[in-house]
Amino acid sequence: MEPVQKVAIIGAGNMGSGIAQKTAQEEFDVEMVDREAQWVERGQSIISNFLIEAMERNIFKQEQIDAIQSRITGVVGVDKTNPETDLVIEAVFEDFDIKTNVFSTLDEVCSPHTILASNTSSLSVNALAQATGRPDRFVGLHFFYHPAKNRLVEVIPAKTTSKETLDRVVQYCKGLGKVVITCADRPGFVVNRFFVPWLNEACCLLNEGAGTTAQIDAVAKKAFRIGLGPFGLMNLTGPPIALHSTDYLAEQLATPRYIGAENLRQLVAEQRMWEIDEEESYSEEQYTMISERLLGVVFGVAAQIVDEGVCSMEDVDRGAKVGLRWALGPFELMNKLGVQRSHTMAKSYADIATSGWEVPQFFTDQGNQAWTFSFVDTAIDAGIATLTINRPEAMNALNVDVVGQLSVALAAVESNNDVHTIVLDGAGKAFVAGADVKFFVDKIRSDEFQDIYDFTANGHHLLNAIETSSKTTIALTTGLALGGGLELAMACDYRIGTRKTQFRFPETSIGIYPGLGGTQRPARLCGKEVARWAVLAGNFMDAQTAFDVGLLSHLVEVSEVSGCISNLSQIGKPASKFNGKPNNEDSRIVQFAKSFYSDENMQTILNHQCPQGFDEQDSVVSRQLKSLKFTAPVGLRMAHDLINSSTQPLSDGLESELNGLETIFSTEDALEGLSALIEGRKPTYVGK
């Protein structure tokens, strides 16, 4: 599959310029197209202002901004779009005729291989696809504002969209670091389907005198654990958008309850915003009435989305958490409140909504049994089984459920005689960004160490099953792999990376040591000195560094990933996985690691002193000493001792890791480091 590299955005407004900016940030070649030069220039100005703001917040440096802007070419006239563009995303006004006119021109201009996409929040993707000359190479996209900041994108294939088209567009979206929801073409798609009725219901509650705008917002913020209530959100995005969206859903879904509330309609007609006073206090009766109405509509619509096959429960929740920044998704909220109680709320709303709105039978049949969620997807093609950890809203962090489900999925493909290769992948931006830190903090504070031990031991069983698998195992680490994620990858026979691969062991800086083989496998892969450099100081590794030191076995272009997997599946398991040396002995980082972290220097380093023969003023040495200074003393020393034990059989070394868990998790530094990470502050270690 040839990846997308050249992208054109039609429309240089707020949304189009945002998509262009994000695309350029991720190193794609971008054309930003509009009908007049003034609009193209305005789009470039919008991007420039956003990037300057990002630089002021230390997100980008000037050279990065220059590089981003150099990848964006302004183009006047849709007919001037580069014919060889891989993907053209139309982002013009939400009008069917305007959009189809754009696609008519693009059909004539673009080469046959070009994929056309519409950034739409409401229009029928199937209808748009039929209006183009290439319905098999057409897809709907729904970026969320602001596209450079919001991580969610809904990808909506038409019935005619080819698998290759969908795969290429999803790969492009993943290349943007987006959390991707692939969904069916139904009005409102996923997020707007439940979010827009929620907004309109708040207006209905206001009409009924259930509370003031401030009171309704306050109740909503508490019930949904969000920062802005419905009226505050409408003021932010614009009441006209809310009115247009809810009227559209009412018409398309034949649901009169969704027709824009009269107060919203009047507000828009008078071009006003909602007045929200500062008095937010409400009675207990108000809270119950308002919260249950708002929860009821969301719960019922969430169930309707799943019942209609638009997407999974997991993706509904993902849309709420990533796209709307809710703390919990609708189905998670139901589990928290009780599924039976949540069903009662939905039924109560159905009684109010009357025609066109029903609670799906599967919701009724669930009783009071909690919803269960799947976080591991399995796909098998030509003997290659891909296990995708699909928890991108949490950067695929390992928790009890993920480890358990991954173990079950692994066992299933291991027993499948048609499978000869197993690929581990992560959905979204990350491969796996470590373990769920909050789990550790909660267990330490509740004095439940056994749960930490059991979780880690189960992780060891999983990694051992991967390592001893009869199949060829490959970790597709084309994103972020931290801590436990990197340890998971090292259990595989091969680790494939691309230019976006990033590795790091952060454990010693958060009060612990890597406990899923992180003190054992690195030394066996690339030598003790390099393992010390990677683990003790928690040095960040970009793709080239990860390959040079030997933690990546293969570094390829994005376009070469599929071919690399195919080749490795034919080669089969390596004769010797643990070579004990770096891939590139000439690398400056490798040479530094081997000299700085030599056996004779370690006692000096553990005492936070500079080894003899090294200049503390040297920038490389200075950074290394600074990194070591911010590690937890007990974690640092235990990690060092465990790395030194890597000369013994691997099974013995892994057992030593497990045996040390109670010691390290009992320290004050472990709780401090893990808590500081969650709280976003620097830890203060006392060495005990």
Amino acid 395 reads M
Pairing of strands 502-504, 541-542: antiparallel
- Catalytic residue, chosen from 118, 121, 291, 396, is 121
Cis peptide before 146 (omega within 30 of 0): yes
Q: Is 420 exposed, middle or buried (0-12, 13-18, 19+ CB in 10 A)?
A: middle
- Catalytic residue, chosen from 31, 90, 124, 142, is 142
- Catalytic site residue 448? no
- Catalytic site residue 567? no
> What are the tokens at 635?
């974690």
- Catalytic residue, chosen from 192, 245, 553, 587, is 192
How many other CB atoms are found less than 10 A from the CB of residue 63? 8
Residues 584 and 548: beta-carbon distance below 8 Å: yes
Task: Please state whether 428 falls in left (phi above 0), alpha (psi between -120 and 50) or beta.
Answer: left
Give the separation between CA 32 and CA 36, rounded to whole angstroms.
Answer: 11
What is the distance, to the nearest Å, from the Cα of residue 208 to the centroid of all Cα atoms in its chain? 40
Q: Residue written as tokens 């990858």?
A: 489
**Closest to 2 measured CA to CA, from 497, 480, 562:** 562
- Catalytic site residue 343? no
Residues 229 and 290: beta-carbon distance below 8 Å: no
Give the separation between CA 612 and CA 79, rounded to whole angstroms.
Answer: 67
- Catalytic site residue 154? yes
**Closest to 152 measured CA to CA, from 393, 358, 389:** 393
- Catalytic residue, chosen from 31, 90, 154, 292, is 154
Residues 240 and 176: beta-carbon distance below 8 Å: no
Q: Got the DSSP string for 189-216?
A: TTHHHHHHHHHHHHHHHHHTTS--HHHH
Torsion of CA 165, 170, 173, 174, to 10 degrees: -140
CA distances from residue 6 to 84, 92, 262, 564 in whole angstroms, order as listed: 8, 19, 46, 23
Give the separation between CA 31 and CA 584, rounded to whole angstroms.
Answer: 38
**Closest to 90 measured CA to CA, from 72, 75, 78:** 78
Catalytic residues: 121, 142, 154, 192
